[in-house]
A and B are shown apart, each in its own frame.
Chain A
């Protein structure tokens, strides 16, 4: 089943009087329970594509169907609803609310989904337990390590049970060892049947994915399945 179906989308930004073609003509399909890495040098349009996939932005032309509904024709409110229910974001800079503890950070999308407080708490606790932060629930971001912060962000992405997890350079702000741990976490999430789209420019990070899409100058350069994908071995010390 196609979750994402993009046909000939283009995105043109106007910077001053100049037109910048961030995406020229991209067509791709992503199925349920895929693990896709989107790669490309800076300026290739991968950020734009990610914003598009994340329903943060709408294409200038072309068609984008997300689980059967047409995103390109949606209003701001509908886009917000889709982002809330169907997409879990993980950002390079974590983007946690610094004054709130882990639990509240994870609860946040559930608030916008209109879920009552007791259920929110329960679900947020489950999500935090899943990412191995059971005993860090009431810590604020500045009391957590970088890896732990990103785990909170992953829990926040998972808590709404979205159709896709969209991770933008999730290891970009982490040292390689911690980054590896986060990739192990993503692998587990993938194994549980989630769909993951990973945006990165690091080859070794992209290797974790089962499919690699390379962009160049706003066009798809290559789209390959990875046969022997690198599956990291979870270490006993990582998840307590």
Chain B
């Protein structure tokens, strides 16, 4: 073992000598690895950034919430079978609320789009969420200012609104949103609460930060017809452990509410965040595979460069190899020396690539929240070392099996 470390250390020193004595060539070779590692690290960072954003966003939605809709979020049934389903109405919701015993909270939800204005500031296409006061209990919302609207305000369909953090930032850059009158569409609403930052960009319009929340009655009054729209019923289980139980009950209760006979299929869908997750995973999976393929390709090109240079280097140093063998270097010593040399080049390239990736991710950070994690360090080190070992092996093997007599005679 001692011997191994001795050889490793001495091999390392010899490798560094060789690299130093051929600076320009070593640097040019390193470039391929630098590019490869930079792209690998950036790709993993970007993917984990997207994942984190999604996790964060989805946890704002709550993993123990069921969404009862007319249609499933991601259809795997033929569309004509579900296009004629009846709307889920407020009456359905009232009945459901009465019959369902397990949920911690239930709330009806409708959504619409409107422009939101305050004085001369405006945000277009804001997602409106209309619901009851219980809505907040189906979420994990936290507040920067104020509160959610009350049951009284909800039932009376008052012109009150709770705004998401992004909306607040846009309309009230100086803060102080509370009790201000904002215009939603053409109606005035009083701000009673401002949410703390909840979700993330990845959820798009579903991001709570980009929404405004108002009593469901107000939405029906001003923005959409109560009769032509189907509502979503948000059902929150008491804990993630009781989700399945709650789901079973929800299905039973909904069938009763909808008056379905035993042989009829459900004419509603119970959606879960899980579906969102699955959909997301399949999309990210494709990005991941494509990304890894492309970055893998650039790394592969870098590795070929290393291999090429190492072959040239072995050829050039044939006489040196002969001498080293003559004075006592064993095959594995020579093998180790050249593999160490290519690994050292790759490792240095990897480190430079890592630094470059960190700098670049700071730039990207301006657009997407990413951060280079510890995992990326390990990836950079392991991947560059592996590249060095794999790319260096064939040339090193050629060197190791040289006949010392032939090698010494080489001119």
A interface residues with partner B (beta carbon < 8 Å):
51, 54, 56-57, 76-77, 80-81, 83-85, 89, 91, 95, 97, 99-100, 108-109, 111-114, 116, 156, 160
**B330:A76 contact, CB within 8 angstroms:** yes
Given contacts A51-B405, A56-B404, A99-B21, contact A112 B319 (CB under 8 A): no
Given contacts A111-B10, A114-B6, contact A83 B327 (CB under 8 A): yes
Which of B14, B327, B330, B405 is within 8 Å of A77, CB to CB?
Answer: B330
* Minimal beta-carbon separation of A238 from chain B (angstroms): 26
**A112:B328 contact, CB within 8 angstroms:** yes
* Minimal beta-carbon separation of A51 from chain B (angstroms): 5
Across the interface, which residues of B come within 8 angstroms of A83, CB to CB?
325-328
B interface residues with partner A (beta carbon < 8 Å):
3, 6-7, 10, 14, 17, 21, 319-320, 322-331, 333, 404-405, 408
Across the interface, which residues of B come within 8 angstroms of A81, CB to CB?
328, 330
**B328:A109 contact, CB within 8 angstroms:** yes
**B326:A56 contact, CB within 8 angstroms:** yes
* Minimal beta-carbon separation of B32 from chain A (angstroms): 24
Across the interface, name the chain B residue whose C-beta is closest to A88: B327
**A112:B329 contact, CB within 8 angstroms:** yes
Given contacts A97-B320, A100-B17, contact A80 B405 (CB under 8 A): no
Query: How far is it, in angstroms, between the C-alpha of A80 and the C-alpha of B7 when the chains are bound?
Result: 15
**B324:A108 contact, CB within 8 angstroms:** yes
Query: How far is it, in angstroms, between the C-alpha of A160 and the C-alpha of B330 when the chains are bound?
Result: 16
Across the interface, which residues of B come within 8 angstroms of A56, CB to CB?
325-326, 404-405, 408
Across the interface, which residues of B come within 8 angstroms of A89, CB to CB?
326-327
Between B322, B324, B331, the greatest number of chain A beta carbons within 10 A of the residue's beta carbon is seen for B324
Which of B6, B17, B319, B326 is within 8 Å of A99, CB to CB?
Answer: B17
Query: How far is it, in angstroms, between the C-alpha of A81 and the C-alpha of B324 when the chains are bound?
Result: 12
Across the interface, which residues of A come within 8 angstroms of B14, CB to CB?
111
Query: How far is it, in angstroms, between the C-alpha of A100 and the C-alpha of B3 when the chains are bound?
Result: 24
* Minimal beta-carbon separation of B266 from chain A (angstroms): 75
* Minimal beta-carbon separation of A229 from chain B (angstroms): 28
* Minimal beta-carbon separation of B381 from chain A (angstroms): 27
Across the interface, which residues of B come within 8 angstroms of A113, CB to CB?
328
Interface pairs (25), CB distance under 8 Å: A56-B325, A77-B331, A80-B329, A80-B330, A80-B333, A81-B328, A83-B325, A83-B328, A85-B328, A89-B327, A91-B323, A91-B408, A95-B319, A95-B323, A97-B323, A99-B21, A100-B17, A109-B327, A109-B328, A111-B10, A111-B14, A112-B329, A112-B333, A114-B7, A160-B328
**B326:A156 contact, CB within 8 angstroms:** no
Across the interface, which residues of A come within 8 angstroms of B329, CB to CB?
80, 112
Query: How far is it, in angstroms, between the C-alpha of A111 and the C-alpha of B195 when the chains are bound?
Result: 69
Query: How far is it, in angstroms, between the C-alpha of A186 and the C-alpha of B347 when the chains are bound?
Result: 46
* Minimal beta-carbon separation of A96 from chain B (angstroms): 8
Extra A-B contacts (10), CB below 8 Å, given A56-B326, A56-B404, A83-B328: A57-B405, A76-B331, A80-B328, A83-B325, A95-B326, A97-B323, A112-B324, A112-B327, A112-B329, A156-B327
Across the interface, name the chain B residue whose C-beta is closest to A159: B327
Across the interface, which residues of B come within 8 angstroms of A109, CB to CB?
327-328
Which of B319, B328, B331 is within 8 Å of A84, CB to CB?
Answer: B328
Across the interface, name the chain A residue whose C-beta is closest to B2: A114
Across the interface, name the chain A residue whose C-beta is closest to B3: A114
Across the interface, name the chain A residue whose C-beta is closest to B9: A117
Across the interface, which residues of A come within 8 angstroms of B326, CB to CB?
54, 56, 83, 89, 95
Which 9 pairs between the two chains have the least Cβ-Cβ distance? A84-B328, A112-B328, A99-B21, A109-B327, A80-B330, A95-B323, A56-B404, A111-B10, A51-B405
Across the interface, which residues of B come within 8 angstroms of A114, CB to CB?
3, 6-7
Query: How far is it, in angstroms, between the C-alpha of A57 and the C-alpha of B408 when the chains are bound?
Result: 12
* Minimal beta-carbon separation of B154 from chain A (angstroms): 81
Query: How far is it, in angstroms, between the C-alpha of A6 and the C-alpha of B323 when the chains are bound?
Result: 25
Query: How far is it, in angstroms, between the C-alpha of A97 and the C-alpha of B14 when the chains are bound?
Result: 11
Across the interface, which residues of B come within 8 angstroms of A76, CB to CB?
330-331
Query: How far is it, in angstroms, between the C-alpha of A89 and the C-alpha of B326 when the chains are bound?
Result: 8
Across the interface, which residues of A come within 8 angstroms of B327, CB to CB?
83-84, 89, 108-109, 112, 156
* Minimal beta-carbon separation of A45 from chain B (angstroms): 13
Across the interface, which residues of B come within 8 angstroms of A156, CB to CB?
327
* Minimal beta-carbon separation of A105 from chain B (angstroms): 10
Query: How far is it, in angstroms, between the C-alpha of A76 and the C-alpha of B405 when the chains are bound?
Result: 13
